[in-house]
Chains A and B, each alone.
Chain A
Amino acid sequence: AQKITQTQPGMFVQEKEAVTLDCTYDTSDPSYGLFWYKQPSSGEMIFLIYQGSYDQQNATEGRYSLNFQKARKSANLVISASQLGDSAMYFCAMRANTGFQKLVFGTGTRLLVSP
């Protein structure tokens, strides 16, 4: 079984600063994918970034990067140069690559960006 843990219920950051949202995971599957989603107050779920367990380099998508430390089973999301529009809930999720596996979500971190 897979499990995602997000230990930060809420985070605060000032505009233009960088912020790291923590995510640790547990799985016995050797092949898996890690995902981050953003949920603004309007409610939709927006896919941000993906990291495969065999990827050698950390994933990056614009201002988002994923700090993947396989040995520590962590997949932290780094947002550089925070913007007011980054205020939202952020969910870490994972999916094993064995057969058809469901996407398992963490409980989320609420990020508030202040001016």
Chain B
Amino acid sequence: NAGVTQTPKFQVLKTGQSMTLQCAQDMNHNSMYWYRQDPGMGLRLIYYSASEGTTDKGEVPNGYNVSRLNKREFSLRLESAAPSQTSVYFCASSESSGGSPKPQHFGDGTRLSIL
């Protein structure tokens, strides 16, 4: 049971380069999320997708774009990477919250360094 799979696990970019972080879940969850984690801080929400076909901005969306490709996949794109985007990126998924809030299940993270 893979759960949430993120690729790549590590990446080094030069300022101005672009790249796409991939995320796929096999739990048939409707909702998916992208977070970033910086030292000394908790996770901050970048974008989320409440259901297939919808995406919305989170707390720190600037410099990022997302695509909900289908129910399983949710990608995060950095169009022009900046050193401030050096971080660990987590993808997560959850069942829809029709009732009690459901726990989010996380991938293993992508460590991204921008020089």
Residues of chain A having any CB pair with chain B under 8 Å: 4, 32-33, 35, 37, 42-47, 50, 52, 91, 93, 95-97, 100-103, 105-108
Contacts and interface: CB of A to CB of B under 8 A. Distances in A.
B42 A105 contact: yes
Chain B interface residue count: which class?
A: 20 to 34
Interface of B: 31, 33, 40-45, 48, 50, 58-59, 88, 90, 92, 97, 99-109, 111
B109 A44 contact: yes
Contacts of A32: 101
B106 to A, nearest CB: 4
A91 B43 contact: yes
A32 B102 CA distance: 10
6 contacts: A4-B42, A32-B101, A35-B101, A91-B43, A102-B48, A103-B43
Nearest to B109: A43
Contacts of B88: 43
Nearest to B45: A102
A33 B42 contact: no
Nearest to A94: B101
Contact of B58 (A4, A43, A44, A102): A102
Contacts of A108: 42
A106 B42 contact: yes
A106 B104 CA distance: 15
B103 A47 contact: yes
Instruction: Identify which of B41, B101, B103 gathers the most chain A CB atoms within 10 Å of its CB.
Output: B101
